[in-house]
Amino acid sequence: MGQCYGKTIPSVIDDNGHDRPTTAVGDRPPPTPSRTPANNGTAVKSTPARSSATSPWPSPYPHGGASPLPGGVSPSPGRSTPGRKFFKRPFPPPSPAKHIKASLVRRFGKAKPPMEGPIPEDGSTMEESEDQSLDKNFGYNKNFGAKYDLGKEVGRGHFGHTCQAKGRKGELRDLPLAVKIISKAKMTTAISIEDVRREVKILKALSGHKHLVRFYDACEDTNNVYIVMELCEGGELLDRILSRGGRYTEEDAKVIVLQILSVVAFCHLQGVVHRDLKPENFLFTTRNEDADMKLIDFGLSDFIRPEERLNDIVGSAYYVAPEVLHRSYSLEADIWSIGVITYILLCGSRPFWARTESGIFRAVLRADPNFDDLPWPSVSPEAKDFVKRLLNKDYRKRMTAAQALTHPWLRNENHPVPLDILIYKLVKSYLHASPFKRAALKALSKALTEDELGYLRAQFTLLEPNKDGRVSLDNFKMALVRNGTDAMTESRVPDILNTMTPLSYRKMDFEEFCAAAISTYQLEALEGWEQIASTAFEYFEQEGNRVISLEELARELNVGPTAHTILRDWIRSSDGKLSLLGYTKFLHGVTLRSANTRHLRVKEEKFFECMNVNSHGCSTCCVSRTSEKDAGDDVVAFSDKTANEVKTGIDYAHMPSKNNIRILEVEHALVAEDCRRTNRLFAISGCRFL
C-alpha cells in the first residue's frame, strides 16, 4: 500500500493531452531545486523539481526509455529522501497504461505519455487542420486589462497558468485575486473548448457556500481565457498532511472531513458532480491552522440530472471510484473519493496503491482497504466504520454526503445537516410502489436504529412540515426553492417533482416518510443488518404479510414466468406467505429483469458447469449463479445465440432478457470477484473469450 510521501506537481491531462494545473486558485510554482545529503537523515517534505538525467539509478521505464514527465521533474521522490521517517514508499513513477494511450490516440491522433494526473476521457479524434475552424469566441468580457492588474505567477501547467491579481476598479478594487489563464492555442478540439465553457458555467451557477471558491469574473482576449476567483493563500490540504508527518489526529481529521462533506453535499443537491476530489483540490484561505478550506478546480465537473448516469472516465487514478471505471456512475463517485481522502488523513497511506496506472485501477476494482496495519488498531471503531461505508464498492450502499454528516463519528449538533437529493429519489420510488411493497418498507422502518432515525428526522425537519406534522408535494417543492441556485436549474433537479405528483393530493406523516426515505441497500451495509431484517420481518408478519401466489409475486417484481423457480424459494410452503428470505429479497427486488434490461447483475455464489456450447468452439465453461441483487455487482452475460444450449442450474434459455445478453466463455471459475470492465463487458482475469 502506497504512502503519502512526497508531493507530485499537480497536473491534469486536459483534452489536448497537455498538463493543466489541478489547483485553480492558489497554485504555486515548483519548489526551488534542493538536494539532501545521503547521510544527514533528514526527510524531504516535498518532491523538488530537479533533473534526473544524471541519476545513477536505472531507468524505470520500458526499454530504458526517457521519463514521460516534463523536463526538470524527477520520476520518483524516493531517490532523494534516504532518511524518510514517516512513509514506507514514495510516490511511484508514472507508468504509461496501454488503454490510456489508446484513448489519447483516438482522441488526439497521437499518443501523449499519461501522467499521474487525472484519467483522460474518451472522445473522437480531430485533425489538426480542423483547429482553424473551431469557434473560440466564448462571449466573455474583453476588457481584462482595464479591470485587473496581474501580479506574479503562482502556478503553471502546459494548458495554462495561475497568477495573483488585483482589481483596478469597482467592488474588486485592490482586492487580492487569483486569475486562471487558459491559452486558446491549447484548445485544439471542440471538447476542450466545451470543457472551458462548462467550468466557467458551473463556477457562475454555484454560489453561496462558505467552502466553495468564490467566482468573480470571466474574460477573454485573442489569446487567452481569464477566470477570476478569490485568492487562497493557505496552501493545499496535501501540504498540510505532509507537514503533519502524513496523517491527522482523529479530532483534526473530523474538522477537515466536515468541511469536505458540507461543500460536496451542497454541490450534489445542486446537481453538480465534481469528479476530481483530492487533497490538491482543497485550499486553505490563510496559513492559520484553523483556516477554512475551499473546494476548487471544476475543470472536470459536470451537471447531472437526478436519475442520470455518466459514462466518461475522468478523475485522478488514486481517487477514482470503481463505477467510473465501469463507465456508469453518478454522485456516489465523489463519495468514494472522500473515503479515500479520509483514509489518507487517518493513516497517512493510500487505500489503493500500485506502481502503474493499470495496477491502481486493478486495486480499486478488486482490493479491499487495509484496516489491520498500524495505525488502524488505535483508530476508533466509529472512524473505521465511517471510512468503510464510504469505500463500499457497491455504490448503492455508500452513504451520501448529507448522511455522512450524521454518522456517529461526526455527529455534532453544531453543524447543520443539508437537504439530501436522495430523499427525493427514494420517496418517488415509494410513491410508485405497490401496496405490498409499501407494507414491507413500513415494517422495515419500524426496525431502524437511532442512528438512521436521526438522519431521517433532520431531513423531515428541512421539509418544514405543516402544523399537522405532515408534508405534501408543496413542502418538497419549497425545500428545493429555498436551497436552489442557477446550477440546480441547469441540471434540471426540480424535474423530479413531476414524478412525485401523488403527493399533490395526499400528505405523508413522519412514520410513512421513514418508510419512503430508507434505502435497503444502505441498511445492508450496516453490521447489524441481520438483526434489523429479522426485527422488521416480525413487524411484517403482524401487519403486512399475506398469502401471495407465484404469479402475483412475479408481477410485483416485474419479471416473467421463468423467474418462478427462484421465487418459489421465497414463499413458505406451509401458509403461502413470504419467508424471511423472501422478505429481505423482495425489499430490493430480483436480479432477473424485464425484456428491456441491458445487463444481468450477478454475484459469485455458486458455479455450474455448462456443456456443449459449440457455436463458440468450446466444450465447457463456468458461470456464476445469480443472486437476487438488483444492480451494481459484476456482470456475467450469455448470448442469445447460445443461450438455448447452456445447461445450468438456472434456465437461462428462457429468461426474458435473453435477447440482450452475450456469452462469456471462461477457462475456470474465477468470475465475479476477479474482473474489470471493458466497454460493456467484463474482461475476466483467468478467463478468455473464445
Asked if 340 and 350 count as a contact pair (C-beta separation under 8 A), the reply is: yes
Can you give the pLDDT at residue 663? Answer: 31
Query: Region 96-112: what's the mean pLDDT?
Result: 49
Own/partner contacts of 256-260, CB < 8 Å, gap of 24 or more, are 256/293, 256/345, 257/338, 257/341, 257/342, 257/345, 257/410, 258/405, 258/410, 258/412, 258/415, 259/211, 259/292, 259/293, 260/211, 260/293, 260/295, 260/338, 260/341
Determine, yes or no, domain membership for 233. Answer: no
State whether 266 and 388 are in the same domain.
yes
Residue 461 shares a structural domain with residue 518 = yes
- Label residue 119 by pLDDT band (50, 70, 90): low
Least confident of 14-23, 266-275, 386-395, 640-649: 640-649
pLDDT digits (tens, 9 = 90+) for 546-598: 999 889 998 988 888 888 888 989 999 899 999 999 999 999 876 433 333 33
| Same domain assignment for residues 467 and 572 | no
Strands, E, within 538-663: which ranges?
A: 607-611, 620-624
Task: Flag the least confident range among 110-119, 231-240, 434-443.
Answer: 110-119
Residue 415: inside a domain, yes or no? no
Grid-cell match 443461450, residue found: 643
Do 362 and 425 lie in one domain? The reply is no
Q: Identify which of 9, 71, 75, 88 has the alpha carbon closest to the alpha carbon of residue 46.
A: 9
- Domain limit, last residue, from 344, 379, 404: 404
- The grid coordinates listed for 37 are 545529503
Q: How far is CA 499 from the centre of its chain?
A: 26
Q: What's the length of the chain?
A: 690
DSSP string over 27-52: --PPPPP----TTS-PPPSS------
> What's the alpha-carbon Rg for the chain, to the nearest Å?
27
Residue 571 is assigned to a structural domain of this protein = yes
pTM to 2 decimals?
0.70
Residue 397: inside a domain = yes
Which band of pLDDT confidence, cut at 50, 70 and 90, is reported for residue 391?
very high
67 within a domain of the structure (yes/no): no
Residue 295 in this model has a pLDDT that exceeds 60: yes
**Are residues 281 and 396 both part of a single domain?**
yes
Residue 332 in this model has a pLDDT that exceeds 60: yes
The pLDDT, as a whole number, for residue 47 is 39
Q: Is the pLDDT of residue 87 over 70?
A: no
Residue numbers of the domain that contains 625: 607-684
Query: Is 366 among the domain residues?
Result: yes
Q: Is residue 627 situated within a structural domain?
A: yes
Collect all residues with Cβ–Cβ distance below 8 Å to 507 and sequence separation of at least 6: 466, 468, 470, 471, 472
Which of 181-185, 249-253, 610-614 has the least mean pLDDT? 610-614
Cα separation, 92 vs 354, in Å, equals 8
Q: What is the CATH number of the domain that holds 390?
A: 1.10.510.10
Check whether residue 260 and residue 351 sit in a common domain.
yes
pLDDT at 620: 30
Residue 391 maps to a domain: yes
Question: Which residues are bridge partners to 141 per DSSP?
Answer: 219
Q: What's residue 7's pLDDT?
A: 47
Binned at pLDDT 50, 70 and 90, residue 4 comes out as low
Q: Write down the pLDDT at residue 562.
A: 85
* Shared-domain flag, residues 260 and 295: yes
Q: Which of 503, 529, 555 is a domain's end point?
A: 529
- Specify whether 502 is located in the same domain as 572: no
Amino acid at 218: A
On whether both 437 and 521 belong to a single domain, the answer is yes
Give the E-state strand segments of 547-619 in sequence order.
607-611
What is the distance between the alpha carbons of residues 179 and 162, in angstroms, rounded to a whole number? Answer: 6
Give the chain's domain count: 4
> What's the whole-number mean pLDDT along residues 477-492?
94
State the residue for C-alpha cell 425545500: 479
Cβ atoms < 10 Å from Cβ of 249? 11
Q: What is the largest CA-CA distance in the chain?
A: 84
**Strand duo 12-13 + 19-20: pairing:** antiparallel
pLDDT digits (tens, 9 = 90+) for 216-228: 999 999 999 999 9
| Interval 22-49: pLDDT, tens | 444 444 444 444 444 434 444 434 434 3
Mean pLDDT of the chain: 75
129/387: higher pLDDT: 387
Q: How far apart are the C-alpha atoms of 96 and 506, rounded to whole Å?
A: 58
Q: In the listed set 404, 434, 459, which residue is the last one of a domain according to the structure?
A: 404
pLDDT at 59 over 90: no
Out of 86-95, 186-195, 365-374, 393-402, pick the least confident. Answer: 86-95
Q: How far is CA 133 from CA 137, 223, 393, 482, 671, in A?
A: 12, 16, 44, 44, 49
The mean pLDDT value for 494-519 works out to 94
Residues 395 and 425 in one domain: no
Question: pLDDT tens-digit profile of 158-173?
Answer: 567 889 999 998 889 9
pLDDT at residue 144 above 50? yes
Instruction: Find, among 387, 393, 386, 356, the residue nearest to 370 by Cα.
Output: 387
In the chain, what percentage of residues exceed pLDDT 70?
A: 66
HSE of 417, CA atoms in CB hemisphere, 13 A: 23
Which residues have a catalytic role annotated?
276
Q: How confident is the model at residue 278 (pLDDT cuts 50, 70, 90)?
A: very high
Whether residues 573 and 636 share a domain: the answer is no
Give strand pairing partners of 622: 609
| pLDDT for residue 559 | 86
Answer whether residue 261 shows pLDDT above 50.
yes
Give the model's pLDDT for residue 135: 87
Q: Are residues 506 and 654 in the same domain?
A: no
* β-strand pairing of 160-167 with 148-156: antiparallel
Q: Is the dihedral of CA 403, 376, 92, 34 positive or negative?
A: positive
For 423-454, how does the pLDDT look when each residue is reduced to its tens digit (9 = 90+)? Answer: 999 999 999 999 999 999 999 999 998 888 99
pLDDT of residue 110: 52
